[in-house]
Amino acid sequence: MSGPYAGFLIAFAAYPILFALVLVFLQWDLVTAPSFAGLDNVRLLLHDGRFWQAVGNTFVFLAIHVPLQIATALGLALALNRPLVLRAFWRSAFFLPVVISGAVVAILWSNLYATDVGLINRVLARLGIAPVPWLTDPLTAMPAIAVMVTWKNVGFYVIIYLAGLQYIPRSCQEAIEIEGATAWQRFRYLTLPSLLPQTILVLTLSTINGFQLFIEPYVMTAGGPLRRTYSIVLYLYTNAFAYQKMGYAATIGVALALIIGAVIFVQRRLVGKAEAL
């Protein structure tokens, strides 16, 4: 009975990983036969300024996106957990962007961010504020993308928090209310600690998904301006399919996997220390 599962694991997990590791030591352009390159791809990666700029850009994106994702998802979950008119509709509405194509969402937000005719700058103009070049200014391009990605994915994390809120015992809520706790105290000492497992899950998933940032900068900015939105995955894609450097692209992919593993490990250690306090 385990044969189909083993076959699936080999075909879609073990083989791609092994193939990527082999490609690290090869030069291959998809046309000519692969040739052995030794550690040339690794040495090139260590001295590749564009790769390290992409790493820095990705961490800037994560520094904005992950805290914003957690705060927004938690706030919406608390609001949608209250008795509201058409509550099921609002929950579905916030989840809808999750299932929409990322390219479609990116095109939509590109129009919203447009400097001259975008809806956001039109609203700012009505308020007497000068238009902001959201996607053409190196200082605002990545934060603008981070906001858009947060909007698209927040519904998924809202569902996670809503599930956690259902498991907070009603007796605990009544007890803390009888003690005269304020709304902030109820949130700080009951709701927030009870949602710690969900927060860890949201932190982990949003970090992993953030490292896979690709379609948004590819569609909205093509990595610009001044390569400030060039993510690791976009750089990997460019090397693989624009420059046809499959061996170097595989090296970038392996490096990305190691970076993700290291970041998640550090996050888990920090969360573990916070839980022990």
* β-pair type (35-36, 26-27): antiparallel
* Per-residue pLDDT, 275: 67
pLDDT at 9 over 80: no
Looking at beta carbons, which pairs linking 29-32 to residues 24 or more positions away fall under 8 Å? 29/244, 29/245, 29/246, 30/244, 30/246, 31/244
* Residues 6 or more apart whose Cβ sits within 8 Å of residue 157: 69, 70, 73, 202, 205, 206
Instruction: Give the span between the Cα atoms of 117 and 243, in whole angstroms.
Output: 35
pLDDT at 273 over 80: no
Sorting pLDDT into bands at 50, 70 and 90, what band is 172? Answer: confident
pLDDT at 1 over 60: no
Report the mean per-residue pLDDT for the chain: 91
If one counts every other C-beta atom within 10 angstroms of the C-beta of residue 69, the result is: 26
**pTM reported for the whole predicted model:** 0.93
Q: Average of pLDDT values for 254-270?
A: 94
Q: Average of pLDDT values for 48-66?
A: 97
Instruction: Give the span between the Cα atoms of 246 and 252, in whole angstroms.
Output: 10
Sorting pLDDT into bands at 50, 70 and 90, what band is 182? Answer: confident
Sorting pLDDT into bands at 50, 70 and 90, what band is 224? Answer: very high
What share of the chain in percent tops pLDDT 70?
A: 98
Please state at what angle helix 49-80 crosses helix 87-99, rounded to 10 degrees.
170
pLDDT at 276 over 70: no
First to last CA, the chain: 46
* 228 or 6, which is more confident: 228
* Per-residue pLDDT, 14: 86
pLDDT at 35 over 70: yes
Question: Could you write out the DSSP letters of every residue in the chain?
Answer: --HHHHHHHIIIIIHHHHHHHHHTTEE--SSSPPEE-TTHHHHHHHT-HHHHHHHHHHHHHHHHHHHHHHHHHHHHHHHHTS--TTHHHHHHHHHHHHHS-HHHHHHHHHHHH-TTT-HHHHHHHHTT-----TTTSTTTHHHHHHHHHHHHHHHHHHHHHHHHHTTS-HHHHHHHHHTT--HHHHIIIIIHHHTHHHHHHHHHHHHHHHHT--HHHHHHTTT-STTTT--HHHHHHIIIIIS--HHHHHHHHHHHHHHHHHHHHHHHHHHHHHHH-
Q: Average of pLDDT values for 9-16?
A: 80
Q: Average of pLDDT values for 123-137?
A: 94
Residues in a beta bridge with 200? none
